[in-house]
Structure 1
Amino acid sequence: MSRDAERDRYVDFLRAWAIVLVVLGHWVITALVRSPDGGITAPELLATLPWTQWLTLGFQIMPLFFLAGGHAAGGSWARARLAGGTAAGWVGGRALRLLLPAGAYSALVLCAVGICSVVGVDPGTLALVGWAMAMQFWFLPVYLLLSALTPALHSLHRRWGLCVPAAMAAVALVADALVVTAHTPYVGLINYVLVWGVAYQLGFCWHDGLLTGRRVMAPAMAGCGAVAFAALIAFGPFPVSLILVTGQDPGNTNPPSAAMLAWVVAQTGLCLVAAPAVRRLLARERVWHVVRPVGGASMTLYLWHMLPVLVVAAAFYLTGLAPEPALGSASWWALRVPWLLVLCTVLVGVVVALRPLERGLALLHERTRPTAVPGRPWFLWLGVATTVLALSRFAVRGFAPDGRIPVLPTLGLLVGTALVTATGWRSRVTPNPRDRLEEAA
């Protein structure tokens, strides 16, 4: 197997591994309690049992997803640029790959919210369910924005290399200092792009060999990042939890903090240290046959992994069939094992049931993906901006704030996705002469 093939397998493994740990992490910390009136509440495990915040060190794996995403995007854009592709054409294809499944998921969830609202489901319950189904949406606008900025970020990378993530990290530290000391939360919003952007930019550097040219680089990143993280939580104002905990101020994720930035560097270094051993495993076809399907279904798993929680809640908690030992007791932790097994079984069924939808979305992507020179590229940039705002709103308030469908984010996602799709549709219906020459070549 060639070195490039091994590297691609490892990148796919990182994305699959990140998704699996995100899913398991959300399931482990989800606690359901049936109240005396028959309703269901979801106490916050990380707040109720503070020691469980240490578990987030194992489950907060999203830096690797951005690292792998930057690695793949950097290679993809470099190839497209050398082939004569445009930024609008490349960004349009990447945006559709994310927006089509996210739009289909949102449409189905919003339809369910509307039906439940009409039949009189309690608004509080509906708001909780709507939040649970959108809790993973924070990732989508950040990743979509970084994808849209890829041509510009990669241009900076080609000129300045490792100086780019270093500069982004420096600005992120200044912004975080302002959030912590001057209490300027809106300044911290830039860190969603800067902190996760550091991981994304390091993916470019990894792809081009800037992180692997010296043996000391990876261990130094892992060690320095880990020491900085430990110092920031031991002597600084930051908590250990790498997942948002109600009442913690400052936190590490909303917005991403200096401690999260240190964790990004540490995980990147650890990923590079582990690469040779994991690549040897992935070279075995039996291992790869297990990893590959997970990577291929990563978007489906990420979007839909909270639906099994609702199914199990309705089947076992609303009916009173589920045993309910005290939260955090030995019996409660022992029941996490069957809890996870049942959720995995339901999720497999969901993934199988969604296969026709996935095939339809893949066909739609091929038919509407912008060509190298799409028609009216301003449709694309307006559509991307609109969907970033809409997805951000869903991430913050859920699909059913106050028990009702949020009209503006819904319209924003619909219009934005339509604009991005129309860019590709117009470019294929009325192809540009340059496109005809490229296709003929």
Structure 2
Amino acid sequence: MGRDRYVDFLRAWAIVLVVLGHWLITGLVRESDGRITAPELLATVPWTQWLTLGFQIMPLFFLAGGHAAGGSWSRARAAGGSATGWVGQRALRLLLPTGAYSGLVLLAVGICAAVGVDPGTLALVGWAMAMQFWFLPVYLLLSALTPLLHAAHRRWGLRVAIVMGTVAAAVDALVVTVHAPYVGLADYVLVWGVAYQLGFCWRDGLLTRRRLLPAAMAVGGGAAFAVLIALGPFPVSLIFVTGQAPSNTDPPSVAMLAWVVAQTGVCLLVAPTVRRLLDREWVWRLVQPVGGASMTLYLWHMLPVLIVAAAFYLTALAPEPAFGSAGWWALRVPWLLVLGLVLAGLVAALRPLERNLAALYERTRPDADRRRSWMPWLGLAASVAALSRFAVRGFAYDGRFPFLLSLGLALGIGLLLLPGRTAPDHPAQHEDALEEAA
């Protein structure tokens, strides 16, 4: 099956909106004593929570990921590959750039801690540089479960996503009624797993054979979301807001599940029109570089905020109208433009690192035929555990260097690198490298 430009577009579109959304809601204030603070826009200016309906686009990233993974695993199975080898390859493709990013940030944290940077400032910066990490453990877990999830899909089709959604709703009911937060952790895999599973169904035509199904998903999911926020206990915000309970993202709620269904339906409805646009080479030339740099953009997009803060806020050069005022919103335009220029320069500077990581992956990715090695699974488990803690606590919790978490992440990636490649490549592996840049 040839490369689907629309799937690549969805991935690129999701990344662009995530970056813009994070930048838009990040507001900096220079206090009278020279400290830089970052008030939480969604909590300080509550009407902005409605903006999250446009910027919460991660369902499409998981949908596109499921579409790509379904094809990748099908080809690997047909070529005689094993689940261990395939999962190891997928994990390493994500973890190599993540490890390089984490290593450089942790090096900076260590230097700052050694020279006596204020612990509160260091903790805030460390959190900002890890805020996007929540996505990685969930995606890695779904990748690890892909052989089982796809086997269920081949047998039961769309019913798997329906059952997962039903269980997710039951889990969320426990979270809301009896306040069982640890039970709610299952919804990270269940809710985002529904979008991932729908990607399998989309690839195999189960969502497009019936002409009315995409429209029914869009209207039904949107209506369910509206009812849940109007009559139920759920907020409108599709991004975490401090002090807001229940939340739609921590853990993902049944309202988020409805949004997943609605967004999938809209995605399928607009697919023919967008595909026609992507067939124009000039349009594709604009989309392709963004998709190719998606992991770099996702990992590094908060560093420009720190650079601009140092250049314009620490020096008191930035104009500072009242937070959330009309003047403040007017300055969002140059704020986004400056951040975009800094990020473009950063991406260009990181290209040699990307090429070196790609070469390292080709030399060390796990053998696709490996069947009984425990190392990729242990490495994946250690990496998921470390990334989960970084996502919650940041890179410098309480202003301290996280020795154990750093060791855990290094150990996890090291175990994935150790098996190496000992057998000839399957042709399907080269297709996969082309199909999913991330």
Which interval holds the TM-score relative to the shorter structure?
over 0.9
Structure 1 CA distance, aligned partners of 2:173 and 2:413?
Answer: 36
Q: Give deviations 1:176-233, integer Å, cap 9, x for gaps.
A: 0000000000000000000000000000000000001011010000000000000000
Contact 2:80 2:369 in 1 (8 A): no
Whichever residue aligns with residue 123 of structure 1, its letter is P
Report the alpha carbon displacement of residue 242 of structure 1 after superposing the two structures with TM.
Answer: 0.2
* Count of residues in correspondence between the two structures: 428
**Of residues 179, 191, 195 in structure 1, which corresponds to 2:191?**
195
Q: Give deviations 1:157-185, integer Å, cap 9, x for gaps.
A: 00000010000001000000000000000
Report the alpha carbon displacement of residue 349 of structure 1 after superposing the two structures with TM.
Answer: 0.6
Structure 1 CA distance, aligned partners of 2:217 and 2:404?
Answer: 43
1:427-438 pair list within 5 angstroms: 427-428=421-422, 431=423
TM-score (norm 1): 0.95
Structure 1 CA distance, aligned partners of 2:83 and 2:119?
Answer: 44
1:42 matched residue in structure 2: 38
1:164 matched residue in structure 2: 160
**Of residues 327, 340, 343 in structure 1, which corresponds to 2:339?**
343
Whichever residue aligns with residue 330 of structure 1, its letter is A
Q: Secondary structure at the match of 2:320?
A: coil
1:178 paired to 2:174: yes
1:361 paired to 2:365: no
Q: Structure 2 regions of 5+ residues with no counterpart?
A: 429-438
2:57 matched residue in structure 1: 61
1:302 matched residue in structure 2: 298
Structure 2 CA distance, aligned partners of 1:63 and 1:128?
Answer: 28
Q: Secondary structure at the match of 1:377?
A: coil
1:256 paired to 2:237: no
2:81 matched residue in structure 1: 85
**Of residues 239, 244, 248 in structure 2, which corresponds to 1:243?**
239
2:101 matched residue in structure 1: 105
1:224 paired to 2:234: no
Q: Secondary structure at the match of 1:327?
A: coil
Distance 1:436 1:267, change over 3 A: closer
1:233 paired to 2:222: no
Whichever residue aligns with residue 212 of structure 1, its letter is T
**Of residues 117, 130, 137 in structure 2, which corresponds to 1:134?**
130
Q: Secondary structure at the match of 1:320?
A: coil
Q: Secondary structure at the match of 1:382?
A: helix
Q: Give deviations 1:345-398, integer Å, cap 9, x for gaps.
A: 000010000000000000000001112222752001111111111000000000
1:76 paired to 2:76: no
1:114-125 pair list within 5 angstroms: 114-125=110-121
Whichever residue aligns with residue 390 of structure 1, its letter is A
Percent identity of equivalent pairs = 75
**Structure 1 residue runs of 4 or more that deviate by more than 6 Å after TM superposition:** 436-439
**Of residues 274, 289, 292 in structure 2, which corresponds to 1:293?**
289
Distance 1:109 1:236, change over 3 A: same
2:435 matched residue in structure 1: none
Structure 2 CA distance, aligned partners of 1:274 and 1:415?
Answer: 44
Structure 1 CA distance, aligned partners of 2:365 and 2:372?
Answer: 14
1:314 matched residue in structure 2: 310
1:413 paired to 2:423: no
Whichever residue aligns with residue 369 of structure 2, its letter is V
Q: Secondary structure at the match of 2:4?
A: helix
Contact 2:52 2:238 in 1 (8 A): yes
Q: Secondary structure at the match of 1:262?
A: helix
Structure 1 CA distance, aligned partners of 2:427 and 2:20?
Answer: 45
Q: Structure 1 regions of 5+ residues with no counterpart?
A: none
Whichever residue aligns with residue 48 of structure 1, its letter is T
Q: Secondary structure at the match of 2:418?
A: helix
RMSD: 1.3
Contact 2:30 2:37 in 1 (8 A): yes
Whichever residue aligns with residue 83 of structure 1, its letter is A
Structure 2 CA distance, aligned partners of 1:321 and 1:116?
Answer: 24
Whichever residue aligns with residue 65 of structure 1, its letter is F
Report the alpha carbon displacement of residue 259 of structure 1 after superposing the two structures with TM.
Answer: 0.3
